[in-house]
Chains A and B, each alone.
Chain A
Amino acid sequence: MTIATDLTRVIDLFQFPFMQRAVIGGVLTGFMGGLLGSFTIMRQLSFFSDALGHSALLGISLGVLLGLEPTSVLLPFAVVFGLGIAYLLQKTKLWTDALLNIINSTALALAIIILSSLESYKGNLNTLLLGDILAVRPADLWMSTALLASCVVFVALTLRMQMLVTLHEPMAIARGIDTAKQQMFFIVLLALVVGVSIKAIGILLVSAFVVIPACTARLWSRSFITYVWCSAIIGAISAVVGIVASAFFNWPSGPSIVMVQFAVFVTAALTSR
């Protein structure tokens, strides 16, 4: 096949509503991941998004076990689990990455034990792990849009607070900022973003959406404000390019997006001063 025929095939492919939904879903997920990711990496919570991703599998498996619709259990479970992790991080005197590793492995182990005992759910495990952005429904898009709006409003209204909390927590408390409350709001939003994104990207790769665009933006930015918005935009653009690449090369969509994110990151690493 020539490149021209490939291009025609890709253009034809984007005439289908499921591909259009995939692009919109990718932009929404990429933007949200990048926006919250900018704060996540600076607060050294990168593994937190990973642990949340793995907890989602546990949430789904518990939903199946209890006879509930798994995806309806996912979001509330992610929020409760996220707050639980935040509480443990505050209360235990252990390294953050070590504690998150314990939680991560335990959640995954428990989820696999539950799922392996449920014959009916074995077939869908692959989809959960790797995601399927082409299976995004209109209802998912509405949910992502509402969540993106919440994230943008949250960041736009509390950006100055978030900056000081991220830079120096005692100075933020001295200025009257309730840092625990801000951290809680942030974790709830992050848990929701990870939960909503799992359907499209899958459990294994969801943390890449939070971490890679933010790291790229960090390399290119010379101020905090530019960094935050740059991270969100890189997240969104990588998603679009990744979906086009997946259609062109016939690759799975989630991994294609992550490879595009990585390519942009390498470019930033090579070009930044």
Chain B
Amino acid sequence: MTAVLKVEGLTVYREAYAAVKSVSFSLQEGTDTAIVGPNGAGKSTLVQALLGILPRKAGTIKILNQPLTAAGQLSSRVRQEIAYLPQHFLFDRLIPITVTELVALGWDDFRVQWFHWKTRERSHAVRQALSKVDAWHLRHQLIRDLSGGEMKRVLLAYCLVRPRSLLILDEAPAGLDIQSESAFYHLLYQLKQDQNWTILQISHDLNMVRRHCDHVLCLNQTLRCQGPPNDALTQENLISAYGSDFANYHHNCGF
């Protein structure tokens, strides 16, 4: 198996504070890795640094064997292999953008090109992606009118509208009720198998991590543990990442 993502000695500062310190790990092709840790542990900072959204202080990041430069640049070809869904997809609800337009942005490679470039090919890809997530009937709707569950399906269509290697999800099911969350994961893992995606996701749900993920990274500024969930999520490691109160509560409740 080849490494889709390789991170070495990554340190990221938020203002004067090191939110992520000397983190190293790698993701193997086709695996599903979860980042867990308490609020403020640096999970979102870590994924944003991996994408070049936040600058890093030290360390190296290689995605599909291509280095992410210190200025956050990556070759356009590799960029198209990555899809990122932020925690809570917050947008200005007055922006009049339709479901079709949003998913089509997932297909674009964002070079300087005429706005009608490859319209037919683009429309075909959008249709296929929306059909796969059972959202074709929503195509003309403004995204602000979608329910939470519909929005997540549309965002998955944004990811799969073009073949990808790596999906980075920052608490993707945030804001969904239990039923919609379960439907979201069902669809995500169906598509993962179908598309052979490598997934890196931030999660607070240790049960889900144990059930679905191949690998887990426990983060609290530094990497406190990593490995297969059943080996890594020990009482001792949870205390190290979350503190003793949470770990004892978690253990006693049998989660």
Chains A and B bind each other? yes
Give the B-binding residues of A (Cβ under 8 A): 42, 155-161, 163-164, 166-168, 170-171, 173-177, 218, 221-227
Contact of A164 with B110 in the complex, beta carbons under 8 Å: yes
Contact of B79 with A163 in the complex, beta carbons under 8 Å: no
**With a CB–CB cut-off of 8 A, which chain A residues contact B72?**
173
**With a CB–CB cut-off of 8 A, which chain B residues contact A160?**
104-105, 108, 110, 113, 115
Contact of A227 with B89 in the complex, beta carbons under 8 Å: no
**With a CB–CB cut-off of 8 A, which chain B residues contact A168?**
86, 89-91
**With a CB–CB cut-off of 8 A, which chain B residues contact A225?**
101, 115
Contact of B187 with A by CB under 8 A = no
Contact of B53 with A by CB under 8 A = yes
Contact of B98 with A176 in the complex, beta carbons under 8 Å: no
Question: Could you tell me the distance between the alpha carbons of A227 and B94 in the complex, rounded to whole angstroms?
Answer: 12
**With a CB–CB cut-off of 8 A, which chain B residues contact A221?**
96
Question: Could you tell me the distance between the alpha carbons of A168 and B90 in the complex, rounded to whole angstroms?
Answer: 8
Question: Could you tell me the distance between the alpha carbons of A164 and B92 in the complex, rounded to whole angstroms?
Answer: 12
CB distance from B145 to the nearest CB of A (A): 11
**With a CB–CB cut-off of 8 A, which chain A residues contact B92?**
42, 167
Q: Determine which of B48, B80, B91, B112 lies in contact with A167 in the assembled complex, contact meaning CB atoms within 8 Å.
A: B91
Q: A156-B115, A157-B112, A168-B86 are in contact. Are A175 and B79 (CB under 8 A)?
A: yes
Interface of B is mostly: loop
Contact of B102 with A167 in the complex, beta carbons under 8 Å: yes
Contact of A163 with B96 in the complex, beta carbons under 8 Å: no
Contact of A176 with B74 in the complex, beta carbons under 8 Å: yes
- Give the top 5 A-B pairs by smallest Cβ distance, nearest first: A176-B79, A174-B84, A159-B115, A174-B51, A160-B108
Contact of A171 with B86 in the complex, beta carbons under 8 Å: yes
Contact of A224 with B97 in the complex, beta carbons under 8 Å: yes
Q: Determine which of A156, A170, A171, A222 lies in contact with B142 in the assembled complex, contact meaning CB atoms within 8 Å.
A: A222
**With a CB–CB cut-off of 8 A, which chain B residues contact A171?**
84, 86
Contact of B76 with A by CB under 8 A = yes
Contact of B114 with A by CB under 8 A = yes
Contact of B95 with A167 in the complex, beta carbons under 8 Å: yes
Contact of B89 with A161 in the complex, beta carbons under 8 Å: no
**With a CB–CB cut-off of 8 A, which chain B residues contact A155?**
115
Contact of B82 with A by CB under 8 A = yes
Contact of B110 with A223 in the complex, beta carbons under 8 Å: no
Question: Could you tell me the distance between the alpha carbons of A251 and B48 in the complex, rounded to whole angstroms?
Answer: 55
Question: Could you tell me the distance between the alpha carbons of A159 and B53 in the complex, rounded to whole angstroms?
Answer: 21
Contact of B9 with A by CB under 8 A = no
Q: A156-B115, A158-B112, A224-B101 are in contact. Are A173 and B52 (CB under 8 A)?
A: yes
CB distance from B1 to the nearest CB of A (A): 25
From 22 to 59 in chain B, residues with beta carbon under 8 angstroms from any chain A beta carbon are 48, 51-53
Interface contacts beyond A157-B114, A168-B90, A176-B73: sample of 19 additional A-B pairs, CB < 8 Å, sorted by A: A42-B95, A158-B112, A160-B104, A160-B115, A161-B110, A166-B95, A167-B92, A167-B97, A167-B102, A170-B51, A173-B52, A174-B53, A174-B79, A174-B82, A218-B94, A218-B96, A222-B140, A224-B98, A225-B115
Question: Could you tell me the distance between the alpha carbons of A174 and B106 in the complex, rounded to whole angstroms?
Answer: 11
Question: Could you tell me the distance between the alpha carbons of A161 and B82 in the complex, rounded to whole angstroms?
Answer: 17
CB distance from B63 to the nearest CB of A (A): 11
Question: What are 19 A-to-B residue pairs whose CB atoms are below 8 Å?
Answer: A157-B115, A160-B104, A160-B108, A164-B105, A167-B92, A168-B89, A170-B53, A170-B84, A171-B86, A173-B53, A174-B79, A174-B84, A175-B80, A176-B74, A218-B94, A222-B96, A223-B96, A223-B98, A227-B96
Chain A residue nearest to B48 (CB atoms) is A170
CB distance from A34 to the nearest CB of B (A): 15
Chain B residue nearest to A217 (CB atoms) is B96
Chain A residue nearest to B155 (CB atoms) is A171
CB distance from B129 to the nearest CB of A (A): 16
CB distance from B78 to the nearest CB of A (A): 9
**With a CB–CB cut-off of 8 A, which chain B residues contact A227?**
96
